Amino acid sequence: MSETYKLGDVTIIMVRQLLQMSMLTGTDIVDHMRMVELEKGPGGVLVPTAEYRELFQGQIESMNEELEKNEKR
């Protein structure tokens, strides 16, 4: 019998943010979801890896910087 896992709250929030990002940028959510890296966290739930959280945060910051540049124009 195989093990089953549930998504942790942090992962669910990140999926919501990925959906929002794809809607704002007009990109396919599938492309964003393929990049997600998960690991088994406390309580046996799946959580994003530290490396992925860092990458994701960088994407958010980059998007915010781009928005700020466009607002100044």
Residue extents of the structural domains in the chain: 6-72
pLDDT at residue 48 in the model: 97
Comparison of pLDDT for 16 and 70, the residue scoring more:
16
Residue 1 near residue 11, CB atoms below 8 Å: no
Comparison of pLDDT for 11 and 71, the residue scoring more:
11
pLDDT at residue 36 in the model: 96
Percent of the chain with pLDDT over 70: 100
Q: Residue 47 CB: number of other CB atoms within 10 A?
A: 19
Sign of torsion, CA 4 8 13 18? negative
Q: What is the mean pLDDT of residues 26-42?
A: 94
Q: Which residues pair with 47 in a beta bridge?
A: 39
pTM value? 0.81
Spatial separation of the C-alpha atoms in residues 42 and 30, rounded to whole Å: 27
Spatial separation of the C-alpha atoms in residues 38 and 46, rounded to whole Å: 6
